[in-house]
Structure 1
Amino acid sequence: MTQVPEPDAPEGVDLERPNAARIYDWFLGGDANWAIDREFGERAVQTFPMIKTVARVGRDFLGRGVRYLARNGVEQFLDLGSGVPTVGNVHQVAASVNPNARCVYVDIEPVAVAHSQILLEREGVASRHAVLQGDLRNPSDIWRRALDTGVLDPNRPVGLIMVGVLYFLGPDEPAQQIVRQYLSLLPSGSYFLSSHLTGDGVPTNDAESRERIREQYKESSTPFHLRSRAEFSEFFEGLDLVEPGIAWLPEWHLDEAESKASKRLAPDPTFSGLIGGLGRKP
């Protein structure tokens, strides 16, 4: 059988190690990944068979959060660590509620940036949305460049999104300071939507499998770090939390869930190991 060659990678793509954005894309059934990412994903599924379902739970939470914000008057979004575009991208979800919604996507991975730009151009909406390659660890630079796109109005509320990305900031990085700086730049009435992996309250009967996944990610260019519920809650200090506050993702506004994955894990939401929240800046 003739082997189908891999597509050319965008400039700057590291194909020596698997990458979280491309692995996540594979978990969700996308095609913006390479053999090294798929091999990693296959091993992860063997180790933790429900990992694709957990990935979909995270994506589903993003969609519910964006819909909530769009229905509550937020018209512009800054999606940090946006990843490779797949089903239910922020601009699409927001536009389903408000056709005038705008979004700036930011990711450090060239594949994510390239595919996002292609999607916006293919949909004919590149004039209303934008995508940047950048490191979210540099808030002042990201904020300046996001405003330079002309997509965001700094005088109107912004939906700041950091879903499925903060756990890639290790314990030796100033994650709290980074989030705090972004929040300081946002105008009053803005919102912060985020999620995180945690070990707090997670079932221990499969602890060995979960730890093996963590070890496997250390082989990638993007190892992840768990934070406690208390540590995650600190990201929302000074914000007014939207009910139900910091919650397991399969529980957060589940009545609006369209994904079978979230409903599947709803009877035991702790299994996901994912918590999230939405806070409003006074």
Structure 2
Amino acid sequence: MSPSDFEPRPLDTHKPSSARIYHHMVTGEVIFESDLPFIQRLYDEIPFYPMWARHNRQFLARAVRYMAGNGIRQFLDIGAGLPTGGSTHEVAGEIIPQARVVYVDNDEEAINRARELLQRNQLLDTTAMIDADLREPERILDHPDTRRLIDFSKPVGLLLVSVLPWIPDASQPAALIATLRDAVAPGSHIAMTHVSLQDAGPEIKKQVAAGAAIFADASTPVTLRTRQQFETFFDGWKLVEPGITYATDWHPDQPLDNDDYARPCNFAALGNLP
């Protein structure tokens, strides 16, 4: 099967998807009314879930700015989700007008919305959304739009923000990331986040665990991991200071809120390829 034959996950308006739920938590938009009962269950179990989602979004923006400021001119945003304000091409474009961005997702709603947006804004010369999945990295790397926009002889900025929790251990996420690492040039960067219970207090642990259990009813269940497990995903990369930290704490652009309950539940880091 060629990359162009890849079929995105079918759109099921009755089964919540991680892309739609995450989009709601960032923007407040409800894509389908059928998502509301699931969303309400999440709010009941994890009242700080929207804050956690915004932490991821803010980290992505800071990571893209860091990469752009360090010579990255092309980006591969895997698990990009539904388009919203502060997307990678918008953030990078503030620094690099001709930045090239390939978005990757396997959710049909995310794919359709992104393609419509890119076409409407006449961005198809520098930006694309491809229907692919981290669990098949070769399909991402070999996709015609990837090859059209990304020059793998030059450094690439890889973004896997709030993606790895949706990849079960059986899919061998470390090996998937290693395939991407081996495909990019020295000087490339990778930014990743991962939800975790390791540093959370007892009450927050109960809430996050209950919320993760709710996703068993969604199209993509959640896998929680430790700091040490997250760090293994950076094998072969040199971590940028401060190394593995919380998403809010990585090169913050505003004062940290020590009372932020979501803060210790989300590890983040950025690495570069020697």
Q: TM-score scaled to structure 1, two decimals? A: 0.89
- Residue 12 of structure 1 and its aligned partner are, at CA, apart by 2.9
Q: CA–CA distance in 2 between the matches of 1:148 and 1:95?
A: 18
Query: Kindly tell me: are residues 266 and 187 of structure 1, through their superposed partners in 2, closer, same or farther at Cα, counting changes over 3 Å?
Result: farther
Q: CA–CA distance in 2 between the matches of 1:32 and 1:96?
A: 29
Any residues of structure 2 matched to 1:24-35 within 5 Å, and which?
A: 24-29=22-27, 31=29, 33-35=31-33
Deviations 1:239-265 (A, max 9, x none): 1111111101111111x25xxxxx564
Does the CA contact (< 8 Å) of 2:51 and 2:262 recur in 1? no
CA RMSD after TM alignment: 1.9
DSSP 3-state at the match of 2:35: helix
Map of 1:171 onto structure 2: 169
* Unaligned residue ranges in structure 1 (runs of 5+): 1-9, 258-262
Map of 1:161 onto structure 2: 159
- Residue 50 of structure 1 and its aligned partner are, at CA, apart by 1.1
Map of 1:193 onto structure 2: 191
DSSP 3-state at the match of 1:18: coil
Moved more, 203-212 or 245-254: 203-212
Amino acid at match of 1:26: H
Q: CA–CA distance in 1 between the matches of 2:176 and 2:147?
A: 22
Amino acid at match of 2:14: E
Query: Kindly tell me: are residues 105 and 119 of structure 1, through their superposed partners in 2, closer, same or farther at Cα, counting changes over 3 Å?
Result: same
Any residues of structure 2 matched to 1:1-282 within 5 Å, and which?
A: 12-29=10-27, 31=29, 33-145=31-143, 148-254=146-252, 256-257=253-254, 265-268=257-260, 271-282=263-274
Map of 1:6 onto structure 2: none
Does the CA contact (< 8 Å) of 2:114 and 2:129 recur in 1? yes
- Residue 36 of structure 1 and its aligned partner are, at CA, apart by 2.4
- Residue 95 of structure 1 and its aligned partner are, at CA, apart by 0.3
Does the CA contact (< 8 Å) of 1:251 and 1:266 recur in 2? no
DSSP 3-state at the match of 2:27: coil
Q: CA–CA distance in 1 between the matches of 2:117 and 2:28?
A: 13
Q: CA–CA distance in 1 between the matches of 2:128 and 2:239?
A: 28
Query: Kindly tell me: are residues 191 and 185 of structure 1, through their superposed partners in 2, closer, same or farther at Cα, counting changes over 3 Å?
Result: same
Q: CA–CA distance in 2 between the matches of 1:115 and 1:270?
A: 29
Amino acid at match of 2:25: F
Query: Kindly tell me: are residues 16 and 115 of structure 1, through their superposed partners in 2, closer, same or farther at Cα, counting changes over 3 Å?
Result: same
Query: Kindly tell me: are residues 169 and 177 of structure 1, through their superposed partners in 2, closer, same or farther at Cα, counting changes over 3 Å?
Result: same
Does the CA contact (< 8 Å) of 2:165 and 2:223 recur in 1? yes
Moved more, 268-277 or 161-170: 268-277
Map of 2:3 onto structure 1: none
Deviations 1:200-236 (A, max 9, x none): 1111123322221011111101111111101100111
Query: Kindly tell me: are residues 26 and 64 of structure 1, through their superposed partners in 2, closer, same or farther at Cα, counting changes over 3 Å?
Result: same
Q: TM-score scaled to structure 2, two decimals? A: 0.92
Query: Kindly tell me: are residues 198 and 34 of structure 1, through their superposed partners in 2, closer, same or farther at Cα, counting changes over 3 Å?
Result: same
Query: Kindly tell me: are residues 114 and 31 of structure 1, through their superposed partners in 2, closer, same or farther at Cα, counting changes over 3 Å?
Result: farther
Query: Kindly tell me: are residues 32 and 89 of structure 1, through their superposed partners in 2, closer, same or farther at Cα, counting changes over 3 Å?
Result: farther
DSSP 3-state at the match of 1:155: coil
Map of 2:5 onto structure 1: none
Moved over 6 A (4+): none
Percent identical across equivalent pairs? 32
DSSP 3-state at the match of 1:205: helix
- Residue 179 of structure 1 and its aligned partner are, at CA, apart by 0.6
